[in-house]
Structure 1
Amino acid sequence: MTRLFATLAALCLTTLPATGADFPVTVTSCDRQISFDAPPERAIAHGSNLVEIMLALGLEDRMLGYSGRIERVQAATDLFPAAAALRPLQRDYPTLEVLLEEETDFYFAGWSYGMRVGGEVTPDSLARFGIPVYELSESCIRLGQKNRPGFDYLFRDLENLAAIFGVTERADALIADYRARLDRVAQKVAAQDQRPRIFIYDSGDKVPITAGGYAMPQAIMEAAGGTNIAGDIQNSWVRIDWETVAERDPQVVVIVDYGEVTAAEKIAFMKDHPAFAHIAAIRDDRFLVLGYDDLTPGPRNILAVERLADFLHGG
Structure 2
Amino acid sequence: MMYRLLAPLALAALLAAPAFAAPVTVKSCNREVTFEAPPKRAVSNDVNLTEMMLALKLQDRMVGYTGISGWKTIDERLRAGLKALPELSPKYPTKEVLLNADADFYFAGWNYGMKVGGEVTPETLAPFGIKVYELTESCIHIMSKAKPTMDDMFVDLLNLGRIFQVQDRAEALVKTWRAQLATLQAKLPKGQAPLRVFVYDSGTDKPFTSGAYGIPTAMIEAAGGMNIMEDVAKSWTEVSWEPVIERNPQAIVIVNYGEVTAEQKIAFLKDNPAFKNVDAVRNNRFVVLDYVAATPGPRNIEAIEKLAAAFYPGTL
TM-score (norm 1): 0.91
Q: Is the 8 A contact 1:208 1:241 kept in 2?
A: yes
Give 3-state SS (helix, strand or coil) of 1:74's partner: coil
Residue 68 of structure 1, CA deviation? 0.8
Distance 1:269 1:20, change over 3 A: farther
Number of residue pairs the alignment of both structures matches: 296
| Structure 2 residue aligned with 1:116 | 115
Residue 53 of structure 1, CA deviation? 0.5
Give 3-state SS (helix, strand or coil) of 1:267's partner: helix
Deviations 1:182-231 (A, max 9, x none): 00111011536242110100000000011101100010000000111101
- Distance between the aligned counterparts of 2:79 and 2:298, measured in 1? 11
Q: Is the 8 A contact 2:42 2:62 kept in 1?
A: yes
Gaps spanning 5+ residues in structure 1: where?
A: 1-18
| Structure 2 residue aligned with 1:6 | none
| Structure 1 residue aligned with 2:286 | 287
- Distance between the aligned counterparts of 2:160 and 2:183, measured in 1? 26
Deviations 1:40-69 (A, max 9, x none): 110000000000001011101101000012
Residue 144 of structure 1, CA deviation? 2.5
- Distance between the aligned counterparts of 1:275 and 1:82, measured in 2? 44
| Structure 1 residue aligned with 2:51 | 52
| Identical-pair percentage | 51
Q: Is the 8 A contact 1:65 1:89 kept in 2?
A: yes
- Distance between the aligned counterparts of 2:188 and 2:19, measured in 1? 36
- Distance between the aligned counterparts of 1:144 and 1:106, measured in 2? 22
Residue 72 of structure 1, CA deviation? 4.3
Deviations 1:71-112 (A, max 9, x none): 84731x426732222210000100011111110000000000
Q: Is the 8 A contact 2:30 2:143 kept in 1?
A: no
Give 3-state SS (helix, strand or coil) of 1:69's partner: coil
Give 3-state SS (helix, strand or coil) of 2:170's partner: helix
Distance 1:132 1:257, change over 3 A: same
Q: Which moved more, 1:141-150 or 1:208-217?
A: 141-150
1:54 partner letter: M
- Distance between the aligned counterparts of 1:303 and 1:80, measured in 2? 19
Gaps spanning 5+ residues in structure 2: where?
A: 1-17
- Distance between the aligned counterparts of 1:41 and 1:230, measured in 2? 41
2:35 partner letter: F
| Structure 2 residue aligned with 1:200 | 199
| Structure 2 residue aligned with 1:78 | 77
Give 3-state SS (helix, strand or coil) of 1:140's partner: helix
Q: Is the 8 A contact 1:73 1:83 kept in 2?
A: no
Distance 1:212 1:21, change over 3 A: farther
- Distance between the aligned counterparts of 2:55 and 2:212, measured in 1? 26
Q: Is the 8 A contact 1:20 1:168 kept in 2?
A: no
Distance 1:198 1:233, change over 3 A: same
Q: Is the 8 A contact 1:43 1:105 kept in 2?
A: yes
Q: Is the 8 A contact 1:223 1:305 kept in 2?
A: yes
2:218 partner letter: A
| Structure 1 residue aligned with 2:10 | none
| Structure 2 residue aligned with 1:140 | 139
Give 3-state SS (helix, strand or coil) of 2:83's partner: helix
- Distance between the aligned counterparts of 1:132 and 1:31, measured in 2? 14
- Distance between the aligned counterparts of 2:297 and 2:138, measured in 1? 13
Larger Cα-atom Rg: 2
Q: Is the 8 A contact 2:198 2:229 kept in 1?
A: yes
Spell out structure 1 runs of 4+ moving beyond 6 A.
none
- Distance between the aligned counterparts of 2:253 and 2:264, measured in 1? 13
Distance 1:43 1:211, change over 3 A: same
Give 3-state SS (helix, strand or coil) of 1:299's partner: coil
Across the aligned residues of Structure 1 and Structure 2, the Cα RMSD in angstroms comes to 1.6
Distance 1:21 1:122, change over 3 A: farther
TM-score (norm 2): 0.90
1:207 partner letter: K
Give 3-state SS (helix, strand or coil) of 2:128's partner: coil
Residue 138 of structure 1, CA deviation? 0.3
| Structure 1 residue aligned with 2:158 | 159
